[in-house]
Amino acid sequence: MYPEIFSLGPFTVQGYGLMIFIGVMLAYIYMLANLKKHGLKSEDVSEMFLWCFASVVVGGKIFFWLEDPGRYFSKPSLLFESFGNGFVFYGSFLLTVPVLIFWFKKKGVNPWLAFDYAGIAGAMVHAFGKLGCLLAGCCHGKVSTGFYAIVFTNPNCHASPLNTPLYPTQLWDAIILFMAIGLMLFMKVRKWFDGQLFLTYGIVYAIGRFFTEKYRGDEERGFILNGLLSHSQAIAIGVFSVCVLIFILRYRKTRTQNAV
């Protein structure tokens, strides 16, 4: 695809970075517009994004290292080589959630309500990030013979093998995420309880990711149970189970409160 969009002297615009930038800007605008209703200012939202950025990087990198801990513990210098490459979404997700809970409570905002906004904003960054993966060739699929397969030819992209039809796993993930955004926006004025939108994001993506993982071709991300499940599939099962459980509990609590 297009790992590099264009160059201007020594400055090069990377496809992945550009997509992330677009997603972050849209997410920032959305969060700012909604959190202002709850007394937060632009500097508060900027602070929140800085905390999120730190959590995404640290969580994503830790889970990436844990995919092959023996390799990194045997040679610690590898931990800091190519630090900007190699992140696991679920690592970012699982660290950012508690950090945001702490931050929202600190600012006096109901975390359940705020997470509904964060679910939509986070999915925006996530979806555009997957488009960035498509441009960069990372998170690529296995070899495919389907009509929908895509071929990466740029030697600077991360896809392998080049010049070979591969499953468009990045595009599938992006479509799932944009569908989740649409569903959350539709549910926004129809939701039964605060937190429903964020839980929906977790459930929808966990289901989608579990199935798209079967077609991923970047084998180095790690497996368990003798290759039966990838690490991300195992985490997806956990995220799905926890989100469904909380969804049921929140729904029952709301119905009980409304019945009183």
Supply the pTM of this predicted model.
0.86
User: With pLDDT > 90 as the criterion, what percentage of the chain qualifies?
Assistant: 56
Q: CA separation (Å) from 118 to 18, 52, 122, 179, 237?
A: 21, 10, 6, 16, 22
Torsion angles phi and psi, residue 75, rounded to 5: -140, 80
55 or 64, which is more confident: 55
Q: What is the pLDDT of residues 137-167, one digit of tens each?
A: 988 999 999 999 999 999 888 888 999 999 9
Type of residue numbered 133:
C
Full domain range(s) for residue 166: 4-259
Round to whole Å and give the CA distance between 159 and 180.
26
Which residues lie closer than 8 Å to 217 by C-beta, 6 or more apart?
Answer: 140, 141, 142, 143, 160, 166, 167, 169
pLDDT at residue 99, rounded to an integer: 92
Q: Average pLDDT, stretch 217-226?
A: 74
How many structural domains are present in the chain?
1
Q: Residue 8 forms beta bridges with which residues?
A: 11
- Could you tell me if 227 and 169 are in contact, meaning their C-beta atoms sit under 8 angstroms apart? no
pLDDT at residue 86, rounded to an integer: 60
Q: Which two tokens stand for residue 213?
A: 């993982």
Q: What is the pLDDT of residues 19-37, one digit of tens each?
A: 999 999 999 999 999 998 8
On the question of pLDDT at 74 being above 70, the answer is no
CA nearest to 82, candidates 65, 94, 96: 65
Q: Which two tokens stand for residue 117?
A: 């906004």
